[in-house]
Amino acid sequence: MEQTLQALGGILLKAIPTLVLVLLLHFFLRRMLFGPLERVLAKRDEETLGARRAAEDSLRRAERRAAEYEAAIRDARSEVFREHEAARSQMLASQKQHILESRARVAETIRQAREELEAETEAARRTLDESTGALADQIADSLLGRRAA
């Protein structure tokens, strides 16, 4: 066993320079490679985060502008609709006024035609009344004259 311990001690004694080299390599790599690499990765993460934040801000601004644009379009459409409705209402009122005026003119024309018809009817009655006696005399003369002959 003593031989094993001496062999183990010899191995450990020979391993000390390797261990020192590994420790030196570790500190050297940590200072010269991993330190700058960690700084570069940290800087890249910060820049990536900054770019993400900028993209998110840009997206929020774009969404806000899109919402404003949609609201403006909605307002413009409602304004056009209101104007269209006002024009339609005005046109309907104008049309209704024209219809009422036309009805009044037609009613006046009908009234005048009735008055003329009544006047003509009355004139015809008077003419008939005036000529009834003369016609009756002519008919009687004509009938009596034929019987006499």
Task: Give the pLDDT confidence of 66-121 residue by residue, as tens digits.
Answer: 999 999 999 999 999 999 999 999 999 999 999 999 999 999 999 999 999 999 99
Tell me the C-alpha distance between 23 and 31, whole Å.
12
DSSP 1: -
Tell me the C-alpha distance between 28 and 36, whole Å.
12
Question: Position 102: which residue type?
Answer: S
State the sign of the Cα–Cα–Cα–Cα dihedral 86, 88, 92, 97.
positive
One-character DSSP codes across 96-111: HHHHHHHHHHHHHHHH
Please provide the size of the chain in residues: 149
Question: Model-level pTM greater than 0.85?
Answer: no
Determine the pLDDT at residue 146. 64
pLDDT greater at residue 66 or residue 128: 66
pLDDT, the chain, mean: 91
Torsion of CA 134, 139, 140, 144, to 10 degrees: 140
Determine the pLDDT at residue 9. 86
Beta strands in the chain (DSSP E): none
Determine the pLDDT at residue 139. 82
Nearby residues of 67 by Cβ (< 8 Å), 6 or more positions away: none
